[in-house]
Amino acid sequence: MIVILLGAPGSGKGTQSKILAAKYGFTHLATGDIFRAEMAAKTPIGLKASEYVKSGKLVPDNIVVEMVAGRMEPGVNYLLDGFPRNLNQAEELTRILAPQRKTIDKVVLLDLPRAEALKRLTSRRICAKCAEVYNIYTKPPKTDAQCDVCGGDVVQREDDSEATAGKRLMVYEDLTNPLVAYYKAEQILEQVDASQAPDQVTQAVAAIIDAALAVKK
């Protein structure tokens, strides 16, 4: 089973895919998380990706595709979060899956108006140590700028600054949004209203995955 979560930065892909991957026992493959980990560890991939991630641009396809291909094993169910992000990556994904005799089961679009996405991004904060996500309005840490979970420093992601977040939303609209039509044409796209409360979004996506699993049996 392969499920792709699609949506603008700030639409809640990361939050939802962590919950859903745990619920269904899928492997959560999040390219943004992988890049941030590689950057923190200063690996060759991290060093190459750093300037792109920090400025809100897409990392070149060859780097991303090689990284994803190296992490996808036969016989494993995946929840893809942040990949594919443009049409070329979508075609490359099909090529990665073909020898494993896998196809994409569902693509779920987390739909959110641009203004709301920008507000969520610029008010988001994360723990520098364990990556727990906070929001200055809706979920501030209990102690000022200290993570509730691990006590680490709660900071703004460099690419969540107003200017870079706006740039990421433009990149999304130009390059990633065309995937909606692409997967609609393949009749595997489903849409969820991402402005709902997180629990309701989880339920809506879970209903889609349940239906897809029922078809497979």
Site for ligand ADP, rule CB under 6 A:
9, 31-32, 35, 52-53, 56-59, 64, 82-83, 85, 89, 159, 168
Q: Could you confirm whether 71 is annotated as catalytic?
A: no
- Considering 85, 106, 120, 125, which one is annotated as catalytic? 85
143, 146, 147, 148: CA torsion to nearest 10: -20
CB atoms near residue 141 (< 10 Å): 19
Residue 205 interacting entry, from Zn ion, ligand ADP, none, C-beta within 5 to 8 Å by type: none
> What, of ligand ADP, Zn ion, none, does residue 29 touch, CB below 5 to 8 Å by kind?
none
Catalytic residue (choose from 36, 106, 120, 157): 157
| Window 110-149: residues binding Zn ion (CB under 5 A) | 127, 129-130, 132, 147, 149
Report how far residue 50's alpha carbon sits from residue 34's, in angstroms, rounded to the nearest whole number: 12
Helix axes 198-216, 13-24, angle to 10 degrees: 50
What is the rounded CA–CA span in Å between residue 175 and residue 107? 16
- 13 included as an active-site residue: yes
41 sits in the region (left: phi over 0; alpha: psi -120 to 50; else beta) called alpha
Give the shortest CB-76-to-ligand ADP separation in angstroms. Answer: 19
Q: Which residue is nearest to ligand ADP (CB)?
A: 32
Active site residues: 13, 85, 124, 157, 168
Residues lying near Zn ion in the complex (CB under 5 A) are found at: 127, 129-130, 132, 147, 149-150, 152
